[in-house]
Amino acid sequence: MSKRVKVGIDFGATRIKMAFVGEKGGLSYRREISTPIDAKRSVLIDTIASSVREIIEESGFNKRDIIGIGIGVPGPVDSKRGVIRYLPNIKGWKGVALRSILQTKLGIKVALDNDVNAMTLGEYRFGSGKGARNLVCLTLGTGVGGGIIINGEIYRGSTMCAGEVGHIPINEKGPKCNCRGIACIERYIGNRYIIEQARMVFRKGITLEDLTDLARSGNKDAKRIWEDVGEKLGVALTGVVNLLNPDRIVIGGGVSNAGELILRPLRRGIKIRAMKDQALHVKIVRGKLGDNAGIVGASLLVG
């Protein structure tokens, strides 16, 4: 067995996923558990630590075989100090030095970053971003997250808050967003807003999967809803394309399962609106690593 192995952990608000990640991005001993979101913080940290111990035991690896553990968390992080700023969807995590806590518990080097940055690194190295130098990665789900790679490195911004594509406003006036902004793109295409829209159109509760199936079987109303998502995202991303001139934009996350239903109007919108050179150069593609992007990417946080 390879001695160059890392552990990647994708710590989400609903699921915690982890695995060993090999040099070429392959996973082994993958494990997924529900996040005990109502448990005390110490219990949650112990759950993560004991799951890591279990996969190490299962694998037969020696601690010495493991280069390190990378963990991506759902919120802003001071990655240099290894401290979580706060987690918007899990209470009680403000200022937690998770890197050193896990390092002490496990006796293995730990690296910590935001989950979207981790996912961005994963797609960049082993997924749809392979070969790009400048890349923007989006995750479409409850929220709209974004990560930026410039010249092969994550761009973090002055206070480590860069990449918030979801909070680009697409209108002067509009609905208020949690971030305190107005008419942020997330406020239109976050999954619960799409579901709300669908409920109004179909006058009944409908899941995103149903909406995708309906659109694929030719239902005009369902198609129109996805088209609207793509068009709105196209407005926001036109600004991104003009500003950053990326090689590629990689779209992942649950909402992106609608695939071409969103991507077609999105590409069209950018082609029409963005400046010519930028628009001609950029490729807009779906993420390749799917559900594992966060695990693979987290392992890449380890130097």
What residues make contact with Zn ion under the rule CB under 5 A?
A: 167, 177, 179, 181, 184
Question: Smallest distance from the beta carbon of 240 to Zn ion, in angstroms?
Answer: 15
How many alpha carbons fall within 13 Å on the CB side of residue 269?
Answer: 21
Sequence-ordered alpha helix ranges (H) in the chain: 41-59, 98-106, 115-126, 186-189, 191-202, 208-216, 220-244, 260-273, 276-281, 293-300
- CA 69, CA 110: separation in Å to the nearest integer? 5
Question: Smallest distance from the beta carbon of 165 to Zn ion, in angstroms?
Answer: 10
Q: 3-state class of 103 per DSSP? A: helix
Nearer of residues 17 and 167 to Zn ion, judged by Cβ: 167
Bridge partners (DSSP) of residue 286 are: 251
Question: Smallest distance from the beta carbon of 143 to Zn ion, in angstroms?
Answer: 9
- CA 277, CA 174: separation in Å to the nearest integer? 31
Question: Smallest distance from the beta carbon of 167 to Zn ion, in angstroms?
Answer: 4
Burial class (CB in 10 A: 0-12, 13-18, 19+), 232: buried
Nearer of residues 137 and 144 to Zn ion, judged by Cβ: 144
Nearer of residues 177 and 258 to Zn ion, judged by Cβ: 177
Q: 3-state class of 88 per DSSP? A: coil
Nearer of residues 156 and 167 to Zn ion, judged by Cβ: 167
Nearer of residues 97 and 179 to Zn ion, judged by Cβ: 179
Question: Smallest distance from the beta carbon of 181 to Zn ion, in angstroms?
Answer: 4
